[in-house]
Chains A and B, each alone.
Chain A
């Protein structure tokens, strides 16, 4: 069975703080893909990153960074120097064994000025 767990329901930080959003996944497949999406209040899911199971290299994109660790089945997302515009719901997703994408329940991030 495939599963994605985002244990943090809500996180509240003050602007300029760093924040890490956790994602733990379960799959028996050796080939799979992991995604992060951002959902601002407007409702649209905005694609942030895709990672395949054979690429454990961490990635940095501006203030965003991702830490993929197969040993712990985790794909965590860190925002450095958070800004108010980062306030949104963030979803981690897993795609394996075909075309079905399983989303976590999301983490709502509040960044206060």
Chain B
């Protein structure tokens, strides 16, 4: 069974440029998460989807970040415009059901460097 797929793996952009990350969750997983992981820290949740609905986006900086999961499968996270402080690893995770104890499975992440 394929795991969570993310692309690109690496991205270098100049500040004020837009950038987008793509995630394809494990087949059949209804819940999808986007996390940001700063250097030397654990992941922090940005947004959680149940099917195509964003049910928790309280940590998403909505002035510059947006996300979508139009068909309830793959998802895109966008930053526009990017700032120097956005340099981080952006991780996507998925879980089978929206239950509190459900295990999340992570993709390899996209390493973003903003110059």
Contacts and interface: CB of A to CB of B under 8 A. Distances in A.
A35 B43 CA distance: 13
B42 A44 contact: no
Interface in A23-64: 31, 33, 35, 37, 42-47, 50, 52
B7 interface: no
A44 B108 CA distance: 4
Counting chain A CB atoms within 10 Å of each CB, the highest count among B43, B93, B105 belongs to: B43
A103 interface: yes
A43 B111 contact: yes
Contacts of A93: 42
Contacts, number: 54
Mostly helix, strand, loop or mixed at chain A's interface? strand
Contacts of A98: 100
A95 B100 CA distance: 7
A106 B42 contact: yes
Given A43-B109, A47-B103, A103 B98 contact: no
A50 B103 contact: yes
A78 interface: no
A25 to B, nearest CB: 13
Interface in B52-86: 55-56
B6 to A, nearest CB: 9
A105 B106 CA distance: 17
Contacts of B23: none
A76 interface: no
A60 B43 CA distance: 26
Contact of A91 (B42, B56, B109, B111): B42
Contacts of A104: 42
Contact of A101 (B45, B98, B109): B45
Contacts of A103: 42-44
A19 B109 CA distance: 28
A8 B65 CA distance: 33
Nearest to A49: B103
Interface in A63-113: 91, 93, 95-96, 98-101, 103-106
